[in-house]
Amino acid sequence: MSVEGDRKPSLIYGPGSLRKCILLPLGIGIMTFGWGSLPALLDHGHRADDMTHGMAMPTAISLTLFLMFLFLGMRRVRLCGDDGKSPWVYFWGTLVSLFVLGMAAILFFCSGSYRLAVDLSAHGIPAQAHLVRQFTEGCSKNGCVTGLEYSFVPKGRAEPVLGFVSVGDVRQNHDVYDYAMSTGTVPILYDQTNPSRSMVYWRDQIQRQASGIVFVEEAGVFVAILMFGLALLAAMLLPVARGVAAAQKAMS
């Protein structure tokens, strides 16, 4: 018997609640991805894979996972009122699980550019790639993020290789964008053994990334976002956990 008495079925309780806790975040994530991808889809000369180069997909995935943790966590804490288990175990378990998953994702996402910069600083081959096109990766209230697609033919090979670089908001002063648009070329370093691994070779950008400065800056921003998400998740789970704990105490 539930410690809170009979309750009408809801998102986190009753028949079908598990399915709703999964499908609703997925639906919101798909809509978020679609909305964030509109600038790329409406851009002149766009291609379908342009949507994967911006932040629309990472944002949609992050929001989907956060909502799943929220709804499933609330559901599991609420069910403690039926099975007599401590709601605090699932309260803290949900927060810790999200923290561990979030930190792993941040390290994986941010360390990729760092490792590539270290490798290219040591063994990269310079080249002047041909500018293929510019495209819109995504837009926000602060402006649109522009991407550049370039191609080059590695030494000893006949087939060209494509690469991409994000140059941010081109309304601001951006030397890489201005250089690429005026010359039709993009200076790069590429990996001879795996030419698909390349980076724009501009001033000290690769050196800064290889030194770990950019990694710390990017990781710091994402960790701050993760901490905010954890605080928000805790604030929404806490009333449910307290209500179940109080009801359990009243019945004991």
Same domain flag for 24 and 113:
yes
Percent share of the chain, pLDDT over 90: 27
Identify residue 247 by its one-letter amino acid code.
A
Buried b or exposed e, range 186-222, using 16+ CB within 10 angstroms:
bbbbbbeeebebbbbbbeeebeebbeeebbeebbeeb
- Per the structure, the complete domain to which residue 168 belongs is given by 123-210
| Strand-strand pairing, 185-190 and 161-168 | unpaired
Domain assignment present for 31: yes
CATH of the domain at 161: 2.40.50
What pLDDT score was predicted for residue 145? 78
Domain assignment present for 6: no
pTM, to two decimals: 0.73
Same domain flag for 206 and 244:
no
Same domain flag for 224 and 102:
yes
Identify residue 55 by its one-letter amino acid code.
M
Domain assignment present for 4: no
pLDDT band of 166, cuts 50, 70, 90: confident
Q: Tell me the per-residue pLDDT of 66-105, one tens digit each, with 9 for 90 and over.
A: 999 888 888 888 888 677 788 898 899 999 999 999 999 8
Same domain flag for 81 and 199:
no
Domain assignment present for 22: yes
Same domain flag for 111 and 222:
yes
Report the half-sphere exposure of 79 (CA within 13 A, side-chain side): 15
Average pLDDT, the chain: 83
Contact 186, 150 (CB under 8 A): yes
